[in-house]
Copies of this chain bind each other. A is one copy, B any other.
Amino acid sequence: MPGDRRPTLSDVAARAGVSKSLVSLVMRDEPGAGPETRRRVLDAAAELGYQPDSRARLLRSGRSRLLGVVFGIQHAFHADLVTDLYTAARETGYELALSAVTPHRAEPEAITGLLQDRCEALILLGPQSPVASLARLAERLPVVAVARGVRSPAIDVVRNADADGLRRAVDHLVELGHRRIAHIDGGRAPGAADRRSGYRDAMRRHALGEGEGEWRGEGERRGQAERRGEGNPRGEGTRGGRGRRGGGDGIRIVRGGLTEEDGAAAARALLEDLPTAITVFNDRCATGVLDVLAREGLKVPGDVSVVGYDDSHLARLAHVDLTTIAQDTAMMSRLAVGRAVARVEGEPVQQREQVVAPHLVVRGTTGPVRAGRPRPRSRR
């Protein structure tokens, strides 16, 4: 019952009739113990239900072999990354210490916890802290930012080529014959600026770039500041912008966001003058778009094609079956863990930033462009 003291190394040693040192060796699978001794020790440990105390172990050895991971508990994409991070870490002999960012637990708090646990490096998923404070953090221990480009020489970055991803989405749609292609963006979310420019570049490359209009309902101009992605990417300023176009092809960017709701709002804004294809900031947002389209009685991909981003679980669901741009989370996780370990072990490092190529996953929401204008069946 919970009340007996837990067995320690000494208990095992006593029971096996050997010294603590031997038990220590055996438990860590180090060479230096005879086979017979090894067996006796293992038996004793099993009988006592001995579990090594990681705290004492790490205290003494001076290192924790712990990689701290900060993630947003509400982010499906972070969940995918964490899953792969566990796998990647297992191969390196380091353990993961998880610390969640929640609506009531901000990033600094999540980080502090990990520092007290003496993590040897930090892997931050989509970090929201200002670059300056991340840089300060990096003075204390290696910091790897994943899925957000951080412009600081002190911080390693693993991200996917966002611009490239959107280029692939547009290329795919153009191949299918689409010319009226809109983009629902991610506002100030990490990666959103790059995805916007990827969309813009691709449109121009296909000679669909003329006639770009205002895209923010508030009439606010896009500035440099937003490229830095500072501030909270969620929950503010995501009201759907009004896409104003007089017809013809052209770049058309509507303010979206990270959530289903953002996507739904943006989709409603597009209904006035529907394009034949929509590229969306991420899968979650695309789900909201699909939902609105369905309620309007529009066929996907018959009337409108939709491309998401992330290849999250959502996209793979049979009834969603979303064509999307996949981020290679397994690769990104391996790189993040690898880099963290390299820094901890003082290995030389080439490039501070590692960019992973995304790839297109064609599913059921994209198809050839149709003749004639789709009409929404009704307004909700």
Binding site for B on A (CB under 8 A): 1-2, 6, 49, 51-56, 58-59, 64, 73-74, 76, 79, 82-83, 86-87, 95, 97-100, 102-105, 112-113, 115-118, 138-142, 259-261, 264-265, 288, 290-292, 294-295, 297, 313-314, 317-320, 343-344, 377
Contacts and interface: CB of A to CB of B under 8 A. Distances in A.
A118 B82 CA distance: 23
A76 B294 CA distance: 24
Contacts of A58: 55
B55 A59 contact: yes
B118 A55 contact: yes
27 contacts: A2-B141, A2-B142, A2-B344, A6-B140, A49-B140, A53-B116, A54-B118, A55-B56, A55-B117, A55-B118, A56-B59, A59-B59, A74-B313, A83-B100, A83-B104, A83-B105, A86-B100, A86-B102, A95-B113, A264-B318, A264-B319, A265-B318, A288-B317, A288-B319, A290-B291, A297-B297, A297-B377
Contacts of A139: 1-2
Give the oligomeric copy count.
2
Given A73-B79, A100-B98, A317 B261 contact: yes
Nearest to A292: B319
A184 to B, nearest CB: 14
A344 B3 CA distance: 9
Given A53-B116, A59-B56, A99 B102 contact: no
B319 A116 contact: no
A291 B264 contact: no
Contact of A53 (B56, B59, B259): B59
Contact of A51 (B59, B116, B264, B290): B116
Contacts of A53: 59, 116, 118
A231 to B, nearest CB: 21
Given A51-B116, A291-B319, 8 more contacts: A2-B138, A6-B140, A74-B79, A83-B100, A83-B102, A260-B317, A261-B318, A265-B318
A2 B98 CA distance: 21
A117 B74 contact: no
Contacts of A344: 2
A79 B98 CA distance: 13
Contacts of A74: 76, 79, 83, 313
A52 B116 CA distance: 6
A202 to B, nearest CB: 28
A6 B97 CA distance: 19
Given A99-B98, A259-B317, A294-B295, A117 B54 contact: yes
Contacts of A377: 297
Nearest to A263: B319
A64 B73 contact: no
A344 B288 CA distance: 45
Which 3 residue pairs of A and B lie closest in terms of their CB atoms, listed nearest first? Answer: A264-B319, A294-B294, A83-B102
A207 to B, nearest CB: 35
A215 to B, nearest CB: 21
Contacts of A102: 82-83, 86
Name the residue among A2, A264, A314, A343 with the largest chain B CB count within 10 angstroms: A2
B100 A82 contact: yes
A177 to B, nearest CB: 23
A102 B98 CA distance: 13
A313 B288 CA distance: 13
